[in-house]
Structure 1
Amino acid sequence: MDSFEIPAPIVKLEMGGANYGMWAFVTRINLQALGLFEHITGESPCPPAPVPPPRPPATAAKEVIDAANKDFKAYQSALDAYRKWDADDAHAILVLIHSVEANIINLQLQTAQEIWAHLRQRYQPAVDAVHYNLRQQLQTLKQGDDTVEAFYNRFMALWRKLDSLVPLPDACRGCACCEKRQQHDDKSCLYEFLIRLRPEFEPAKVRLLSCPPLPSVIEARNTLLLEEIRIQSTAPVVAPPAHQKKKKKKKKRSGTRPNLWSSEPSEGSSPLSQNEVARMVNQFQGLTHQGSAWSTNLPHSRNLGNNHNWDWPM
């Protein structure tokens, strides 16, 4: 590697190692992109340091000098390989050191593989506690009132955290057993997602699980989005409850006779006191006992005579 630039860490390992799983996942990807992944897995061990061959004397025979030159070329080739490995391992160490907090670094470790193994041994127990906590969150996760898209985002964020805590083995990545493991994880992801949906999606879930081969979780999400639109478009319109309906006020006709016996005031009038109501009742009773002479005693009334009938306004 002629030039090397340390990539900015996407995830930095925190003190305590709570985010070790995500850090290890991202760091492996960085090292793979740089061609340095084998330095932490042990697949690229350090070659032995070459020993320079002895230099033949000037008076040595031609055959001895030719053999010495051949040995020197082999030494030079081995030295170049050793120097390249040493430089690459130093680059891998820089990536690891640059992605952890300063108080985590152990300067007594000499190779990238030793640093990687040390961090895994130190923080793997913390990962187990985080793994247990994430499993508890997944156990109680339900769609609730979320849309399919909102619930999918919540579910996948939690699932990716779990997946990063149990990565595929470094030594056999890409082999047949890893492919089977990945297929099993994909099925588990689909099952866990479908189980937590609302009951209204049961018909769609049955159709998805009946498809050979099983769809991926993203394909299931796309199908459920269409099903959600269909359910919303065919949902019946629910009338508002009876207690929420506005009561229409009955308009009172003007010119009607006020109810003297009611304690409630009529529209547009002020309430009467009990004394005023009693006085009006006494006046009315006194008038009804006077016979034909009642009309002359009414205040502000005209004497219409015996030939006219008084019409009480009804």
Structure 2
Amino acid sequence: MRRTSYANVVINGANDDSENTPHDEVPNSGDLDDASFITSNGHPLYLQNVDHPGLVLISKKLTGTENFGPWKRSLSIALSAKNKLGLLNGSVPMPDAESPLRAQWERVNDMVISWILNTVSEEISNGMDFVNTAQEVWEELTGQFSSIDGHRIYQILKDLHALEQGDKSVEIYYHKMKNLWDEYVALEPTTTCKCSAKCDSHLVVEARHQRKRLLQFIIGLNDSFSNARGQILMMDPLPSITQAYSLVKQEEKQRQKHVSSNAFLGNVKSDISTTSPTVSSAGTNNVLPDSTSSKK
């Protein structure tokens, strides 16, 4: 009799009519949930040999509301790559106590809890010691920090308004601005028009956002880049912010080469002046007399 495994339901859907693979047969078992089918990355309860509770999936650590958005996005991507998001959103629920998958589910659940807590500060993780499931941990953190996204959005916009290059390099200044914009978009995503399949209003909105970023970038540049700023504004159409960054970065490199060249020439002149023979007030070189002439 043909049986459908739990893994096949998760991967292919309950109504899969494709040909059986060798793992689709359940030998001598009438239970649909069989742990023997957890054999590949496609199964959400599969663990690789390199997986362990001390694994740190991302370098970011959750410290509070100020970095919850970037932390959540980074960890979601990492857990998605591990095929473990189902334990966070409830799509892979806890099996019944009699299910042969129950022990493996609990093992994977504990593993995901450890992975999450490895990426939060000690102060935050201390309050999660007695949470039983990864979904509860995820919902608890989301409830604590995402409910005040409005405060973070306010701070991001305030930081963007005050951001200027100052004593920062063009590269550091650009990436600081980009990180703020990316976090803002993650917290306040742009809505997409659904009025028509041919509607391109979202393209107009996106172009407007990109133009706003470009202008903010060149406004915050130091006055020493006024020539580059003027050249960018005279382009028709306006370049993208990445193109503008490349142009300004190139000019910064040219200046650094010019400064290094001048410094090198200055050192050479200094060395020549210190090694040249001194001249007396009479205009003759101060050299030692010839030994043969002194004997005469």
What is the match of residue 271 of structure 1? none
The 1:186–1:37 alpha-carbon spacing in structure 2 relative to 1, beyond 3 Å, is farther
Q: Which residue of the other structure, out of 124, 136, 148, is the alignment partner of 1:114?
A: 136
Give the CA RMSD over aligned residues.
4.1
Contact 2:165 2:220 in 1 (8 A): yes
Q: Which residue of the other structure, out of 20, 26, 29, is the alignment partner of 2:77?
A: 29
Give 1:146-165 correspondences, 5 Å limit: 150-164=169-183
The 1:95–1:188 alpha-carbon spacing in structure 2 relative to 1, beyond 3 Å, is farther
The 1:208–1:168 alpha-carbon spacing in structure 2 relative to 1, beyond 3 Å, is farther
The 1:186–1:34 alpha-carbon spacing in structure 2 relative to 1, beyond 3 Å, is farther
Correspondence 1:124 to 2:143: no
The 1:49–1:232 alpha-carbon spacing in structure 2 relative to 1, beyond 3 Å, is closer
Contact 1:22 1:165 in 2 (8 A): no
> For the residues of structure 1 that align with 2:184 and 2:105, how far apart are their CA atoms?
30
- Any unmatched runs of 5+ in structure 1? 52-77, 171-175, 234-314
Give the superposition deviation at 1:206: 2.6
The 1:25–1:230 alpha-carbon spacing in structure 2 relative to 1, beyond 3 Å, is same
- Any unmatched runs of 5+ in structure 2? 1-46, 190-196, 258-296
Give 1:140-219 correspondences, 5 Å limit: 140-143=162-165, 150-164=169-183, 166-167=185-186, 188-197=212-221, 198=223, 199-208=226-235, 210=237, 214-215=239-240, 217-219=241-243
The 1:99–1:223 alpha-carbon spacing in structure 2 relative to 1, beyond 3 Å, is same
The 1:202–1:102 alpha-carbon spacing in structure 2 relative to 1, beyond 3 Å, is closer
Structure with the bigger RCO (C-alpha within 8 Å, sep 6+) is: 1
Give the superposition deviation at 1:166: 4.6
Normalized against structure 1, the TM-score is what? 0.48
What is the match of residue 100 of structure 2? 79
> For the residues of structure 2 that align with 1:27 and 1:121, how far apart are their CA atoms?
16
Q: Which residue of the other structure, out of 49, 58, 70, is the alignment partner of 2:96?
A: 49
Contact 1:208 1:220 in 2 (8 A): no
> For the residues of structure 1 that align with 2:206 and 2:105, how far apart are their CA atoms?
32
> For the residues of structure 2 that align with 1:194 and 1:123, how far apart are their CA atoms?
33
SS at match of 1:28: helix
Summarize deviations over 1:73-94 as a string: whole Å, max 9, x none. xxxxx634x5544433322211
> For the residues of structure 2 that align with 1:112 and 1:202, how far apart are their CA atoms?
50
Correspondence 1:100 to 2:120: yes
The 1:33–1:205 alpha-carbon spacing in structure 2 relative to 1, beyond 3 Å, is same
> For the residues of structure 1 that align with 2:255 and 2:113, how far apart are their CA atoms?
55
Summarize deviations over 1:191-242 as a string: whole Å, max 9, x none. 431343344334322355615xx53x33321122345678999xxxxxxxxx
> For the residues of structure 2 that align with 1:37 and 1:186, how far apart are their CA atoms?
32
Correspondence 1:7 to 2:55: yes
Correspondence 1:223 to 2:247: yes
What count of residue pairs does the alignment treat as equivalent?
193
> For the residues of structure 2 that align with 1:87 and 1:187, how far apart are their CA atoms?
50
Contact 1:25 1:164 in 2 (8 A): no
Contact 2:95 2:105 in 1 (8 A): no
The 1:48–1:131 alpha-carbon spacing in structure 2 relative to 1, beyond 3 Å, is same
Contact 1:142 1:196 in 2 (8 A): yes
Give the superposition deviation at 1:38: 3.5
SS at match of 2:55: coil
Contact 1:11 1:23 in 2 (8 A): yes
> For the residues of structure 1 that align with 2:139 and 2:116, how far apart are their CA atoms?
12
SS at match of 2:186: coil
Structure 2 residue identity aligned to 1:203: G
Contact 1:134 1:158 in 2 (8 A): no
Contact 1:18 1:126 in 2 (8 A): no
Normalized against structure 2, the TM-score is what? 0.50
SS at match of 1:27: helix
The 1:11–1:38 alpha-carbon spacing in structure 2 relative to 1, beyond 3 Å, is same
